[in-house]
Amino acid sequence: MDAELFPRERTEVAPGAVHVPDWLDAERQRELLAACRAWALPPAGLRTVRTPGGGTMTARQVCLGWHWYPYAYARTVVDGDGAPVKPFPEWLDELGRRAVRDALDAPGAAAYDIALINFYDADARMGMHRDSDEKSEAPVVSLSLGDTCVFRFGNTETRARPYTDVELRSGDLFVFGGPSRLAYHGVPKVQPGSAPPELGLTGRLNITLRVSGL
């Protein structure tokens, strides 16, 4: 990690929305990357997501536990190869609950059972959206690996301002729950070539953990 004059600090970006820099150490990042590489393989591997309007998302995605497609969940890759979604491992639930405890200083109540793994190449983006297809109000846990990005965290009413731009780097944690659970958020920019060289990843991976309530 860069030696910085002022260490980056835990920041509450909005009520219930907290950024914890450098939450994953280098070894944990390598382990998570290895797991993502295995999850990305077919069947039910990394895919391009098509939206009902005929567009495609530029970040490619693979899911665990429940398969998300615009705008619902299924147990099989209904918009892809039709294979059963890969299982959600228990260790990832433990990681999710620990993330909530560390970020919000609150017990992670329900069990995490959904992971969306997004892969961003240099040109990929994600538009402002809300995570609203789950039936649970449990906080969303977001982990970043590889290239740094600008993560835009907004409000619950509109895709427009007010919002805060947060720089998410490899190993950072972002948790949003409570009054911010349904806030609009997105990724307007990835900084190509900014990943820690020792990680061995070209691009950015985001692992988003959610509780389905399904």
Interface with ligand AKG by CB under 6 A: which residues? Answer: 116, 118, 126, 131, 142, 151, 185, 187, 206, 208
Minimum distance of ligand AKG from residue 142's CB (angstroms): 5
Minimum distance of ligand AKG from residue 16's CB (angstroms): 16
Q: Which is nearer to ligand AKG, 5 or 148 (CB)?
A: 148
Q: Which is nearer to ligand AKG, 142 or 170 (CB)?
A: 142
Minimum distance of ligand AKG from residue 121's CB (angstroms): 13
Give residues with Cβ within 8 angstroms of 101, minimum separation 6: 107, 108
Q: Which is nearer to ligand AKG, 13 or 116 (CB)?
A: 116
Which amino acid makes up residue 46? Answer: L
Q: Which is nearer to ligand AKG, 187 or 199 (CB)?
A: 187
Task: Give percent helix, percent strand, percent coil of the chain, each to the nearest 5.
Answer: 15, 35, 50
Minimum distance of ligand AKG from residue 42's CB (angstroms): 21
Q: Which is nearer to ligand AKG, 6 or 96 (CB)?
A: 96
The SS3 of residue 113 is coil
In 7-110, beta strands by DSSP E: 11-14, 17-20, 60-64, 67-69, 72-74
Q: Distance (Å, rounded) from C-alpha 39 to C-alpha 33?
A: 10
Q: Which is nearer to ligand AKG, 23 or 151 (CB)?
A: 151
The SS3 of residue 152 is strand
Minimum distance of ligand AKG from residue 114's CB (angstroms): 10
Distances in whole angstroms, Cα of residue 104 to Cα of each of 16, 20, 99, 203: 7, 10, 8, 29
Minimum distance of ligand AKG from residue 204's CB (angstroms): 7
Give residues with Cβ within 8 angstroms of 155, minimum separation 6: 14, 162, 163, 183, 184
Point out the residue whose Cβ comes nearest to ligand AKG. 206
Q: Which two tokens stand for residue 191?
A: 């900084």
Q: Distance (Å, rounded) from C-alpha 116 to C-alpha 131?
A: 11
Q: How many CB atoms lie within 10 A of CB 9?
A: 8
